[in-house]
Amino acid sequence: MAEAQDFTLKIRRFDPESGEQAHWQDFGVELDPDRSVLDGILQVKDREDASLAIRCSCRAAICGSCGVRINGKSALACNTRLSDAKQTAFNGAIAVEPMGNMPVIKDLIVDMDAVHWKKIQRVVPWLLPEGDPPEREYIVPAEAMIDVTQSMACIQCGVCVSACLSLEVDPEFIGPAALAKAYRFVGDPRDDHTEERLRDLAEDPHGIYDCTHCFACIEVCPKDVAPMSQIMRLRRRATADFGIKDSNNGYGHEKGFVDIIEKWGTLHEAQLLPRSFGDGSMIKGQTEPGAVKQLVESLPTAFRGLKSGKITPRKALLHPKLPDQKNVKHIYKEVHDRDKRIELNLYIVSENSVEEEGAQGEGSGEN
Ligand code: SF4
Ligand code: SF4
Ligand code: FES
């Protein structure tokens, strides 16, 4: 056991009953640097201010109740060492504040019902099988369960919800945790409402196409659920397996993107917009009244791009070639010509050789 060291915790305080504004308060703690930020907070509660509010239980990254932001980054307090937190601290003080994107109830406690649990309920978080149940239990192929294991690892801590950038601009976004949960049922062969679930999540303007691929949820998740990857899998199932054409242009955007890469080997930005509005088709995107209307509506964004120099007429119209773009076309063809989609489950790892894993990966699902 290492020797105890002094740390400063800078904790965000807020008590709605006091009438005071939220403010920062510094506390000194003395602990082994391998102990957690939660241990530090509990020492403050124990020795200095019993009124400090924090939600916690297991102290072992299992119950999911101690989510906070440490030096601005969402994390579990019990899963973050004081020594690690000190390395990213500003002016030596470890800043601890409540999670983001959720209303604060008191000090470090947020109202998870108002955001997180509401969204989980939104995705119908239970199986919806049809027909008579089997006489004994449902038998599920092992590969099918491997496919959903990653999303099942979620402990509902809300840390990804706290970090999500899309939720910051659209509080109605269903969000990373609930969408990862949705994949748990979409990927389960016992569920008989896969298409309805996908259609619902694709059509919702705050659904699967509201994620901006920022990777923040993947970076902070303490259980490697990789919520963004689950969202991408929902999109793949919706577009490739069910051909769901949604009013959010998600289908068109994805199809336009893939078709452009197939044709040119690199992204032709000027073509992407009309194709996205035309269900992937350039002609439809330039002739159908609905698509043309959307194109016209997006002109101010294009003008802003031109004004800032992000887009130039030359770049937009004369799509510049990349030196090795024919290799991308080659990769595309290799993948496209396969009999079935191979998705590797990167979550489950084993001691098996690469060849064995490759054989198991086929049909087992993931990323
Ligand atoms: S990748 Fe998507 S779901 Fe994840 S944090 Fe970013 S916007 Fe949110
Ligand atoms: S996906 Fe990860 S970060 Fe999000 S609630 Fe589940 S365990 Fe927590
Ligand atoms: S106290 Fe249970 S996850 Fe931190």
* Predicted confidence (pLDDT) per residue in 9-18, tens digit: 999 999 999 9
Pocket test for ligand 3, best of 76, 108, 154, 162 (most atoms within 8 A of CB): 76
Nearest CA to ligand 2 atom 7: 154
Per-residue pLDDT at 20 exceeds 90:
yes
**Beta carbons of 110 and 157 less than 8 angstroms apart:** no
Q: From ligand 3's centre to the CA of 117, what distance in Å? A: 17
Fold of 5-110: Ubiquitin-like (UB roll) (3.10.20)
* Predicted confidence (pLDDT) per residue in 319-333, tens digit: 777 788 888 888 888
| Residue whose tokens read 């016209």 | 296
The size of the chain, in residues, is: 367
* Sequence ranges of the chain with CATH classification 3.10.20.30: 5-110
Mean residue pLDDT of the chain comes to 89
Q: From ligand 2's centre to the CA of 362, what distance in Å? A: 27
| Most confident option among 213-222, 266-275, 284-293 | 213-222
Alpha carbon distance 318, 260 (integer Å): 14
Min mean pLDDT across 236-240, 304-308, 310-314, 361-365 is at: 361-365
Q: From ligand 2's centre to the CA of 181, what distance in Å? A: 10
Reduced 3-state DSSP string for 342-365? CCCCCCCCCCCCHHHHHHHHCCCC
| Most confident option among 83-97, 261-275, 289-303, 325-339 | 83-97
Alpha carbon distance 225, 212 (integer Å): 18
Nearest to 180 by CA among 123, 219, 230: 230
Q: Looking at residue 107, what is its pLDDT?
A: 98
Pocket test for ligand 2, best of 62, 156, 162, 184 (most atoms within 8 A of CB): 156
Alpha carbon distance 28, 358 (integer Å): 52
Selected residue with higher pLDDT from 111 and 367: 111
**Beta carbons of 195 and 124 less than 8 angstroms apart:** no
pTM here? 0.87
Q: Looking at residue 284, what is its pLDDT?
A: 81
Question: What's the pLDDT band for 359 if we cut at 50, 70, 90?
Answer: very low
Q: Mean of the pLDDT values across residues 93-99?
A: 98
Q: From ligand 1's centre to the CA of 278, what distance in Å? A: 26
Alpha carbon distance 156, 138 (integer Å): 26
Q: Looking at residue 367, what is its pLDDT?
A: 36
Indicate whether residue 160 lines ligand 2 (CB < 6 A): yes
**Beta carbons of 367 and 229 less than 8 angstroms apart:** yes
Selected residue with higher pLDDT from 23 and 311: 23
- Token pair recorded at residue 271: 């073509």
Indicate whether residue 156 lines ligand 2 (CB < 6 A): yes
* Sequence ranges of the chain with CATH classification 1.10.1060.10: 113-130+140-241
Per-residue pLDDT at 64 exceeds 70:
yes
Indicate whether residue 54 lines ligand 3 (CB < 6 A): no
Indicate whether residue 211 lines ligand 1 (CB < 6 A): yes
- Return the number of other C-beta atoms located less than 10 Å from residue 345's C-beta: 18
| Residue whose tokens read 């290492």 | 2
Q: Mean of the pLDDT values across residues 143-152?
A: 88
Q: Give strand pairing partners of 12.
A: 24
Alpha carbon distance 55, 112 (integer Å): 11
266 contact partners, CB below 8 Å, separation of at least 6: 319, 321, 322, 325, 328
**Phi, psi angles (nearest 5°) of residue 365:** 90, 165
Q: Which numbered ligand comes closest to the C-alpha of 108?
A: 3
Query: How far, CA to CA in Å, does 228 sit from each of 71, 169, 183, 235, 310?
Result: 23, 17, 11, 11, 27
User: What CATH superfamily classification does 113-130+140-241 receive?
Assistant: Alpha-helical ferredoxin (1.10.1060.10)
Q: Mean of the pLDDT values across residues 288-302?
A: 82
Per-residue pLDDT at 68 exceeds 60:
yes
Q: From ligand 2's centre to the CA of 76, what distance in Å? A: 10
Q: Mean of the pLDDT values across residues 142-171?
A: 94
Per-residue pLDDT at 345 exceeds 70:
no
Indicate whether residue 177 lines ligand 1 (CB < 6 A): no
Nearest to 365 by CA among 172, 134, 145: 145
Q: From ligand 1's centre to the CA of 324, what distance in Å? A: 31
| Residue whose tokens read 């030196």 | 323
**Phi, psi angles (nearest 5°) of residue 152:** -70, -15
Q: Note every long-range contact of 237-240, with CB atoms under 8 Å and residues 24 or more positions apart, other chains counting.
A: 237/186, 237/194, 237/198, 238/198, 238/199, 238/201, 238/202, 238/208, 240/341
Pocket test for ligand 3, best of 65, 109, 154 (most atoms within 8 A of CB): 65
Per-residue pLDDT at 352 exceeds 60:
no
**Beta carbons of 161 and 99 less than 8 angstroms apart:** yes
Q: Looking at residue 152, what is its pLDDT?
A: 94
Q: Looking at residue 346, what is its pLDDT?
A: 65
| First-to-final CA distance of the chain | 40
Query: How far, CA to CA in Å, does 335 sit from each of 116, 329, 331?
Result: 37, 10, 6
306 contact partners, CB below 8 Å, separation of at least 6: 312, 313
